[in-house]
Copies of this chain bind each other. A is one copy, B any other.
Amino acid sequence: MVIGGRRSGRPTLEEVAARAGVGRGTVSRVINGSPRVSDHAKAAVEAAIAELGYVPNRAARALAGNRTDAIALVIPEAETRLFAEPYFSDIIRGVGAELADTDMQLLLTLLRTPKERQRFAQYLTAHRVDGVLLASVHEDDPLPDLLEQLEMPTVLSGRRSDLESVSYVDSDNVGGARSAVAHLLGLGRRSVATITGPLDMYVARCRLDGYRQAVEGAGLLHDNALVAAGDFTEEGGRAAMRALLERRPDVDAVFAASDVMAGGALQVLREKGRRVPDDVALIGFDDSAIARHTDPPLTSVRQPIEEMGRTMARVLLEEIAASTATRRHVVLSTELVRRESA
């Protein structure tokens, strides 16, 4: 590796051209992989690049080419709290992996305050990124619409509703929930309850739908007393579990829409003297670290989150490359990870 060199600055395209004995245009074409270059010229340029240790100046490229070679990964306000969850790091790792072979830069943008959102809107209008990855959106989030309006290539992780128009990559929440509940039913449980997430979140409704489909598919009657609303927090899981035991003391299985809530439910079940899984079987969602650390370890539905991140990046790059606006909706399948709680 060549570090530093003659002169004050790094070599420029022009210097490469001089060394290779060609014009600026030809060097540019080689760098950008244009097919309209003779093998001979290409070889000479590549040699010159290697000799000089030339690396293109990003800013100059961006200025001349009216692009930035950078994409933003945006983590909205509500999520910065949950940032520690494996969800985001796995997304980031997936995105990073996919981008590693590109020379696309990844900008991390945390949007906590309205002021920061405002500032980010400026970023966008100032065309400081070529595209945006939006990690986890709420139903009423206007950001995707702003992005669409600005014709900024965008990919969401998850979606706001069935009608989501912006490109997204989501996991099969309905199917995951369905398979979890089917598993409980297959164990012979007949009073299968669910603890839902906040129902103003699409993901929570999907998981509830999956629960319903499985229950009804087994020819059982859907009983609203078996559905308790949680909010994806541990305390919410505890409250929901208490309510369920109150309403239906005969409950023999619970599907919680997140591991955190399942953890809360587990505490209450133990308090109330119910054995897991003997008296009550329990399944969570996310297959997070918590699932491995509860006693007993939680059976849980795993989402392929890193894969989601990779896919998001891939879809975004395609969207940036495409001349016409395309929308892609990708749903990745989930997998039931069996442990001792069910």
Q: Is A245 an interface residue (CB 8 A)?
A: no
Q: Is A92 an interface residue (CB 8 A)?
A: yes
Query: Smallest Cβ distance from A206 to chain B, in angstroms?
Result: 24
Contact call B10/A126, Cβ cutoff below 8 A = yes
Identify A110's interface contact among B92, B113, B126, B128, CB under 8 A: B92
User: Which residues 57-77 in A have Cβ within 8 Å of B in the complex?
Assistant: 57-63, 68, 70, 73
Query: Smallest Cβ distance from A20 to chain B, in angstroms?
Result: 19
Identify A89's interface contact among B88, B113, B115, B128, CB under 8 A: B88
Chain B residues lying within 8 Å of A128, measured Cβ to Cβ, are 58, 105
Copy number in the complex reads 2
Contact call B110/A96, Cβ cutoff below 8 A = yes
Chain B residues lying within 8 Å of A3, measured Cβ to Cβ, are 125, 149-150
User: Which residues 197-227 in A have Cβ within 8 Å of B in the complex?
Assistant: none
Q: Is A53 an interface residue (CB 8 A)?
A: yes
Chain B residues lying within 8 Å of A88, measured Cβ to Cβ, are 89
Q: Is A24 an interface residue (CB 8 A)?
A: no
Interface size on A, residues (CB 8 A): 57
Contact call B10/A125, Cβ cutoff below 8 A = yes
Q: How far is the CA of A205 from the CA of B97 in the complex (A)?
A: 32
Q: How far is the CA of A10 from the CA of B57 in the complex (A)?
A: 23
Closest to A80 in B: B93
Given contacts A80-B96, A92-B110, A106-B107, 9 further A-B contacts (CB under 8 A): A1-B118, A10-B127, A55-B125, A58-B59, A58-B68, A83-B93, A84-B89, A100-B110, A105-B107
Q: Which 5 A-B pairs give the minimum distances between C-beta atoms?
A: A59-B62, A55-B126, A96-B110, A84-B86, A59-B63
**Residue contacts A-B, CB under 8 angstroms, 22 given:** A1-B125, A4-B125, A10-B125, A10-B127, A53-B125, A55-B122, A55-B126, A58-B68, A59-B60, A59-B68, A80-B96, A83-B89, A83-B92, A96-B109, A97-B112, A100-B112, A105-B128, A108-B108, A289-B290, A293-B293, A293-B294, A295-B295
